[in-house]
Structure 1
Amino acid sequence: MDVLSGSVVIPMVLFVPGVLVVGLLLLWAYGVARDRNPLPFPDRDYQVFSAASHTGLLALEELMQHFGHRPRFRIDSEQVDRTVFSNGTIINAPQPRMLAQLGDPAAALGFVVTDPECAAREAAELLRRHGCSGEVVLGAEPGLPITFVRTDALKI
Structure 2
Amino acid sequence: MMRGSVIFSGFLLFGLLCVGSPVFALQSGGVEIGDLETGSVTGQPFKRLDVDLAFTAMQISGKNAWYPPTAILSLVAGGTGGRAGRPVLFQVTNTLSTDYTFHLSADSAMAGPTSLNTTLVLKPGETKYIGIPTSDLTYVTANNLLIYGNPADKGGLSGQLLVIR
Q: Same fold (TM over 0.5)?
A: no
- Name the TM-score, length of structure 1 as normaliser: 0.30
- Name the TM-score, length of structure 2 as normaliser: 0.29
More strand by share: 2
Q: Which has the larger radius of gyration?
A: 1
Q: Which has the higher contact order (CA 8 A, sep 6+)?
A: 2
